[in-house]
Structure 1
């Protein structure tokens, strides 16, 4: 997919707060927020309350951790909608496993995934290629919106799309947000599955005619590191963002909490 929208606007992306599965390194699943994840959801609400975005509509994945994050926005939003299409990539028979379990039980599959993460499809699950196809109608629908603010899961986690006087904010899962980031920043298929989308971070995108400005706001709330680098290419997921700090935010120039 290629970003074809040239009207001026900003897009804000964020993952759900840290989940209990994040803490123990398990893939997928439907676990609730951890204590720190719940703290992030509250701080996220405070952040957008200060932003005063106006007419806010929320779209969320149906997964518990995303829904819990989105629910904090109810008093700021005109409505909150939960979309299954925004759920995280389906890990099939690997749902609930740690990466160590995955490698031990299915070494051939694990090696195939590291070799070609974009095209690799989990047994009984999805690939990033499948996910891009799943999300394309959602992105096209967002391109047509004029007065909506949407929050959805990271399949990503979240993205806020502002068009003229309208706002859209999406809260979603990591894989989903990678697809959305790749769309707006023109990343290729090799880079897409390795884009760094940290937990407890808001990514602000400002698309231009031939580029996209990227700013990252990291909330000072601890979260585990679940990011796996591409073997032999440790820097492929870097977005080279502008660094922005605030009273309740810290720079994400440090790699400590990249995911």
Structure 2
């Protein structure tokens, strides 16, 4: 809620970030931009424009290089070897002349630290690959889990920080059955596979994206970060 829970019921300042790509900025254009006077903690008064759009280049989607703009089926047909390499190691795989999830993690690190310092509610209109990494960081997930976090299209994910991480709520704006097919459904073969003994492959060897959260603290959060394979309204990104 953008209103303070107090007697005055004043509107709270809220921030809005997008990537520099047109599709996120076109989505953000539907936000209302009210103006009101706000006094900061230091006594400084300022006319606040609610949800002022701030494009951030760090939030641009993972660049697929030679495969940019192609569907998964087209990549599999035209670049079968690259498709196989990505399926084998989605975290470290780098598209030809493009980026990997590890590359994007590095460019998002300073932005995540800036987000931790912001006191106002922050809305990010972003891309699924980017949101996966940010979600994994704030929820204390292992780095290897980030590429498989379920970030369905047409959903709002609300993270509220607390002492041991974040409390999560998800709001579905449109069911998958209502969406237009865009050819970007990711094959479930890119999901983590079972080990030779038939069990789940362990993900505990990699450090947390957020070093301040231990595995025990992450479990306290009761994280509901399910893989896209288990999400009934999953629609995976082109990256």
- TM-score of the superposition, structure 1-length normalised? 0.61
Secondary structure of the residue aligned to 1:190 is helix
Q: Is the 8 A contact 2:138 2:166 kept in 1?
A: yes
2:63 maps to 90
Measured after TM superposition, the shift of residue 143 of structure 1 is 1.6
> Relative to 1, partners in 2 of residues 1:68 and 1:116: Cα closer, same or farther, differing over 3 Å?
same
1:212 and 2:166 aligned:
yes
Match of 1:255 among 226, 229, 232: 232
1:58 and 2:16 aligned:
yes
C-alpha separation in 2, matches of 1:203 and 1:65: 19
2:140 maps to 186
- TM-score of the superposition, structure 2-length normalised? 0.66
Instruction: Work out which of the two has the higher radius of gyration on C-alpha atoms and give 1 or 2.
Output: 2
> Relative to 1, partners in 2 of residues 1:145 and 1:97: Cα closer, same or farther, differing over 3 Å?
same
Secondary structure of the residue aligned to 1:205 is strand
1:133 and 2:106 aligned:
yes
C-alpha separation in 1, matches of 2:18 and 2:191: 32
2:93 maps to 120
Secondary structure of the residue aligned to 1:184 is helix
Secondary structure of the residue aligned to 2:121 is strand
Aligned length: 181
Measured after TM superposition, the shift of residue 210 of structure 1 is 2.8
- Which structure 1 residue ranges, 5 or more long, are not aligned? 1-46, 147-165, 242-252
Q: C-alpha offsets along residues 200-251 of structure 1, whole Å, 9 cap, x if unaligned?
A: 1111223333343322111135224724433464999xx636xxxxxxxxxx
CA RMSD of aligned residues (A): 3.0
- Which structure 2 residue ranges, 5 or more long, are not aligned? 35-49, 195-199, 202-222
Measured after TM superposition, the shift of residue 87 of structure 1 is 0.7
Secondary structure of the residue aligned to 2:66 is helix
1:152 maps to none
Secondary structure of the residue aligned to 1:213 is strand
> Relative to 1, partners in 2 of residues 1:107 and 1:195: Cα closer, same or farther, differing over 3 Å?
same
2:121 maps to 167
Q: C-alpha offsets along residues 62-91 of structure 1, whole Å, 9 cap, x if unaligned?
A: 111100111112524252111222110000
Measured after TM superposition, the shift of residue 145 of structure 1 is 2.2
1:68 maps to 26
> Relative to 1, partners in 2 of residues 1:127 and 1:200: Cα closer, same or farther, differing over 3 Å?
same
